[in-house]
Amino acid sequence: MELENTKLHPIFLHTFICSLLGILTATMGTESDISCLKSIKASLEDPYGYLKSSWYFSNYTQGFICSFTGVDCWHDDEDRVLNLRLSDMGLRGRFPQGIENCTSLTGLDLSNNELEGPIPSDISKKLPFVTSLDLSFNKFSGEIPSSIAGCYHLNVLKLDHNRLTGHIPQELGWLSRIKTFSVSDNQLSGSVPVFLNPTVSADVYANNIGLCGGPLQRCPDNSRKFNWRFDYSFKSGFAIGYAVSLISALVIYASYCVPWVYMGKKNGMITIPELVKLMLIRKNEKPELDQLGSLSTMEFLLEKEVSTSETFVTRMSSVDLCNATENFSKHNIIGVGLTGIMYKASLLNGWSLAVKKLYISEQTEEQFISELKTLGRLRHDNLIPLIGFCKEQKTRFLVYKYVSNGNLFDWLHSEGDKKKILKWPLRIRIAAGVAKGLAWLHHCCSFRVAHLNISSKSVLLDKNFEPKLSNFGMSSFINPNEVNSSSRGFIMDVEFWEECFLKEDVFNFGNLLLELITGKMGIALSSCYGSLDEWLRDLSCSSPSVSDSIDEVVKGQGHDHEIFQCLKIACDCVQRFPEKRPTMLDVYMKISNIYS
């Protein structure tokens, strides 16, 4: 479906209905958030009176909780908590259980207090949308719950200077967005998780009793040294004898008593090795069964998506891909990212493909599924076509149409003639194409998709400089016809999903538009607070500093009026409060009016 054919009246009706539903959701959220803050105040000792002197619940005017010490709201006249900043208040007690009623919370800072006890084992249910969690400099004890890995959106996780014991859950390495992580000054031991983010240094693990691996020293061999010959010979002999006896008994039993078991796999019937594995599994302890169950779920989802995707894209063999890339020669590398390496592949018929070879890790499975789910099924002029995939044992490949002009980042930040090619008419055409693709994903395709990784590096340019959105490994999607369902494994209200995720795409698009206008990164990329607010105020005053920020390549070429119109659109997109940002459909219509 093309956006030009969209009728106006249904759009306005849809907007009105969503706004009405948003008001109802906000009302329900208001009552819940007030209950949340009441519970937190009641559960914590407040020796210095920070909460006692500020958190008054007698005034129920709209937005009254937004004036509470340490409380940031999504909007000043709406009682929905965005962040709780309760650092350095001398608070005592345990982790506040009632915090789960702050249903829109994205940031929690309880650092530099006297809190103790365990971190809740179900913390991902209490804080499903948190992006920053700081529990440092307290007295929290016990193990770090593996459920923190369910807080998919975490950028900051600080647990340092506590009394935490046991192992660091390996699942934390699955947090693909993590940028700040620290567990120093605890009593942790064992191997550290492997993060997708390579910047995790040894300092974040300092002053623990026995951590190893990663940036630390290599983990020691677990084999025992004392009387190792006797210990090894006795235990290994016993184990081998037991295994041989068990397998022999199973073979005899299968041969005489179970005629449906075969040595080879036929018609989906169970094999001897599978039967042995099944019987051994039943002897395992419950924690291992839980791990197996979790792994089986991922494998089931992967196989289900692979099976479905074969009707949309071609399944290819690793041998063919190896031949097409000259055995994945380094001369054919066209890009290196956090999740894999991109190679150019040349076919015998003269066609060119881009083959992404994913790194072998558990973290890439979810991204592999996400790309198949989105790009495998969706087709639009401004999306990079996924035309094939390969899954063989632990090997994962994604095969795309080759895009000859590379990514937008390289063009904007190159020197000399390459940058000069991107004059303003071409830049605004690229912006319009990206906005059109995002608007289609948000509003018009069969299920709504939030890209969540929009940047100049995720925008590819074909030979005609038509933009193609790529890098859908972090995307989230939801079927509006299935109430309270989403792709991230937890129940989520559709309207709230749209505000959280779709408006994040709008914010990132605003950053991209500013990058197209200024030729620089960093104006709005670091945060939507502080310096960006000052920059926006400068813009409203049309100060010389704003004019100085515009890229010299496009300034003074007769397009300044259009550039300032796009600046206004960009600044609307990067507003602090998500509900104040426009939809991508609005953004596309405004840009297309300028472009046309």
Query: pTM of the prediction?
Result: 0.52
CA distance 503 to 575: 10
pLDDT tens digits, one per residue of 187-209: 998 889 887 665 688 889 999 98
Lowest mean per-residue pLDDT among 197-206, 216-225, 319-328, 408-417: 216-225
Query: Which class would CATH give 301-402?
Result: alpha beta
* Rounded-to-integer distance, Cα 338 and Cα 201, Å: 17
Percent share of the chain, pLDDT over 90: 34
Looking at every residue in the chain, the average pLDDT score rounds to 76
Question: How many residues does this entry show for the chain?
Answer: 596
Q: What is the pLDDT of residues 72-110, one digit of tens each?
A: 888 777 788 989 999 999 999 999 999 999 988 989 999
Higher pLDDT, 498 or 68: 68
Which runs of E-coded beta strand occur in 379-493?
386-392, 395-401, 448-450, 459-461, 467-469, 476-478
How large is the average pLDDT for residues 237-261? 43
Q: Which residue has the tokens 């200077």?
A: 161
CA distances from 306 to 312, 370, 414 (A): 10, 11, 39
- Cα 84 from Cα 42, distance rounded (Å): 16
For the record, the structure tokens of 245 come out as 């006896």
CA distances from 199 to 28, 179, 180, 204, 522 (A): 41, 8, 9, 10, 19
Average pLDDT over residues 317-327: 90
Looking at residue 537, its pLDDT comes to: 52
What's the average model confidence in pLDDT over 212-241? 53
Fold adopted by 405-481+493-595: Transferase(Phosphotransferase); domain 1 (1.10.510)
> Pairing state of beta strands 210-212 and 314-315?
unpaired
Distance CA 373, CA 313 (A): 11
* Residue 210 binned pLDDT confidence (cut-offs 50, 70, 90): confident
Cα of 124 vs its chain's centroid, Å: 14
**Domain locations along the chain:** 27-212, 301-402, 405-481+493-595
Query: Region 22-36: what's the mean pLDDT?
Result: 61
What secondary structure does DSSP assign to 71-128, as a single string?
EEEEETTEEEEEEEE-TTS--EEE--GGGGG-TT--EEE--SSEEEEPPPTTHHHHST
pLDDT band at 152 (very low <50, low <70, confident <90, very high): confident
CATH 3.40.720.10 matches 27-212: no
Per-residue pLDDT at 437 exceeds 50: yes
Q: How far is CA 274 from CA 263, 265, 421, in A?
A: 10, 10, 61
pLDDT of 243 reads: 47
Could you read off the pLDDT of 482-521 as tens digits, one per residue?
544 555 544 456 777 777 889 999 999 999 999 999 888 7
Which residue did the predictor score with more confidence, 319 or 393?
319
Q: Residue 551 half-sphere exposure, CB side, CA atoms within 13 Å? A: 25
Instruction: Tell me the C-alpha distance between 1 and 573, whole Å.
Output: 25
Q: Which two tokens stand for residue 33?
A: 């958030």
Q: Looking at residue 279, what DSSP letter applies?
A: H
Residue 319 parent element (H or E): helix 318-324
